[in-house]
Structure 1
């Protein structure tokens, strides 16, 4: 008579099978990286949930929409916000599909930079510009996120003490948050993976809390007609169509970041499947979650003019204050602020991995240092370079909020310009991608890429146009100056250093 297996024996057998399957998946992922010419340097400790969380963190739907809601409220109002959200989400979804196809073929860190270098190896300047522009955009985005978190904290203090903080106090909080982001990233992949997984649940729980608070506590609920058709214009421009288009920038700013999952592709098991799923899934999830949050804001907003004239450090605080009162305003700001901090952490994760990838290919100085990993598997030179740049840029806020806002707007434009590079290649050189991965668009590929191309061009133009009329030195959109300065720096660096050292991707095996 055969004795039945003991439960602990069955459990041990399942664990052994699971370990074998995981080892096989790791071997498959590492072999794919070897085929691309790179030696595996990172432990593959990220699951789908962790990789998805990275993109969710980078998008930061709650903090992104909260920080930029005034752009849409003042440029088109509820009508522009609601319909603009769907239009922009759809086109950002198309961009995510395009990125997912490329990411599945090239599941390695570097993301946009690596893709451009791989698809157009005969034009190394394209890869160099993409890598430097995108890495600086990630650093600037992280700095912007930490300053926004400081503004949320400043608004919480103002609600409590009725005392607005000085700019130097807000900058000091931003410095502390930059350093905190550096510490978390120094701890390594596991810490980031756990935090990004937590972020998914924080976003879901935070959305429920904000939506319920706004819809239950708002003293006056707006009508459906107001939410879907009301037009507002605080810009001074007369053209309604142009004003609504300016409001689109709120949605684009909120939805940037889906491609961040590619930066941790070398730290994920079966990255050729998980990374593209995370890229596309983060946009779909953000589209739906953002819609729920946006509707609650539009139904609960009491007075758009009050938001426009607020004295709070960040306008969303006034909307919360009018709708839910001072006590719940503190809780709402806390939910968004924590989301903002986690988003900043992941942008420094992306920038440090980009510095690593650029140094690996001789596109960045101090190669040995920027490719050094600590015992937590963190490229800490890239992490603390991001922190240092962030603290220096935050100093600009003390001198001039206008100058700082211009630099931060330039980050959003730089991201879109970085998006443009691989999309252009896929449109005008469709045969540049030969080795497709499991995620493939098939006959729809060129159409998706062409639509993405047109949308990115439109957005880049809108980002540099003046958002108020008549234009003066105080409301001028100086983002074009900041972006131009960044492009000049990268160009000088190319001719001074890059063209002599950077010849394209450098294989490590």
Structure 2
């Protein structure tokens, strides 16, 4: 009985804080720390991100770039997580990055508007790319298991199925998402253990420590050793992006002002450690880097497994990664749909009533299915050009990092922009940590749009710069044509009645 009273008090405190920020509690608070942590952990997708992008670092710097790049980038991504967690603790709302920017710089509404839209597009891109990765893993399974090479049309059809299934699961509601995120945590931990043991036991040749920590490889064509190693950093940043997703379910979490920021930070800490263990197992077990570079498999890491553990165990390992990939990417559409809801709530979206509608499972279903529809359309780009689709994938990470940059840069330029502090605070270290995080974010955004191969041709050009420019242009046009007239920042959905003891009511 006492525990029920304590829980009710904590829920009341969380709803009170949400009320102070101007919003009526619309969602049931059903997520615990483990569930919220699972959301961010799933969004990062350490096992899947590492597996999908491993070849990027392997061909750009080799084991040397992979190992040191992973640890260096993890440190800076942890600093970014600390910055975001501090703001999240003060403003535990569904809008996340978008809402934080609006609250810290209310006199410049265009910053919040652009942050919200760029981040929403980034989440849809992330979900789309993740579901295509699911399709590519399944295509690799077909090649390894049955020797059948799937066509691009077949791969896109599978990606469509993954998109639709992601939408169905999200439509079921908060409980389903929380349980899936918890499942993903245990599946990733158990799956990583299985993969690591399988690789270390079955690999016929184990590489030396000198190879793992110092061997340099270059398949890029660039001659500058330092630049090549830096290109390998892209793998780490791509894998570790996503820690802020916990903020998107803050209004569905118990004691969100503490649990959401803790989830943001510990998802990076856990991913850093698990990713390091998995990476070391891969590096000690890789048999031939050149065979991975020339592989015919849809996902290059399938060749690494095939060379190290044989056909049957490769199938098992790919299944483990594929399941983790799908459960992780469901959370991208969770984030995008909640962000659409938050933008609509503040008059930053057309068809406001539709995007704010909740079904009986408390799911903002319109935002979910818009994400699915757009994801299916974008997936079709893979049929015409792998290069074009790769540009979309890279732009997703750039858009995410640019969204991180907005609140962090505000904290650097206007140190007093966060007058309200939550229970998670960096204290006197806040400003220097924000400065370091901002510099790293700018650096990685620049790195992601540079050509990764030389000589640069129309087939290997990094078109991410065009994709991200198109996103920025689209968002800018929406602001000029409609946003500047309708958007003034967060809109209160509750008002204090005079003399009623502070009971909230919907604003008219």
TM-score scaled to structure 1, two decimals? 0.97
* Alignment partners' CA distance in 2, 1:163 and 1:53: 35
Output one character per residue of 1:232-287: Cα deviation in whole Å (capped at 9) or x when no partner.
00001111100000000000000000000000000001000000000000000000
2:430 aligned partner: 445
1:324 aligned partner: 309
Alignment of 1:261-280 (within 5 A): 261-280=246-265
Question: Do 1:74 and 1:233's aligned partners in 2 also have CA atoms closer than 8 Å?
Answer: yes
Runs of 4+ residues deviating >2 angstroms: none
Question: Do 1:142 and 1:343's aligned partners in 2 also have CA atoms closer than 8 Å?
Answer: no
Partner of residue 425 from structure 1, selected from 397, 405, 410? 410
Aligned length: 494
Output one character per residue of 1:422-470: Cα deviation in whole Å (capped at 9) or x when no partner.
0110000010001100000000000100000110011001000000000
What secondary structure does 1:356 align onto?
Answer: helix
* Alignment partners' CA distance in 1, 2:404 and 2:56: 22
What secondary structure does 1:467 align onto?
Answer: coil
* Alignment partners' CA distance in 2, 1:117 and 1:235: 42
* Alignment partners' CA distance in 2, 1:221 and 1:337: 26
2:325 aligned partner: 340
* Alignment partners' CA distance in 1, 2:201 and 2:459: 39
2:149 aligned partner: 164
Partner of residue 111 from structure 2, selected from 118, 122, 126? 126
1:485 aligned partner: 470
2:483 aligned partner: 498
Shift, 1:328, TM fit: 0.6
TM-score scaled to structure 2, two decimals? 0.97
1:476 aligned partner: 461
RMSD (CA atoms): 0.5
* Alignment partners' CA distance in 2, 1:489 and 1:273: 36
1:4 aligned partner: none
Pairing 1:179–2:177 present: no
* Alignment partners' CA distance in 2, 1:381 and 1:67: 30
What secondary structure does 1:171 align onto?
Answer: helix
1:458 aligned partner: 443
* Alignment partners' CA distance in 2, 1:152 and 1:440: 41
1:11 aligned partner: none
Shift, 1:19, TM fit: 1.3
Shift, 1:151, TM fit: 0.1
* Alignment partners' CA distance in 2, 1:233 and 1:401: 22
Output one character per residue of 1:286-325: Cα deviation in whole Å (capped at 9) or x when no partner.
0000000000000000000100000000101001111110
What secondary structure does 1:209 align onto?
Answer: helix
Alignment of 1:37-186 (within 5 A): 37-186=22-171
Question: Do 1:410 and 1:480's aligned partners in 2 also have CA atoms closer than 8 Å?
Answer: yes
1:252 aligned partner: 237
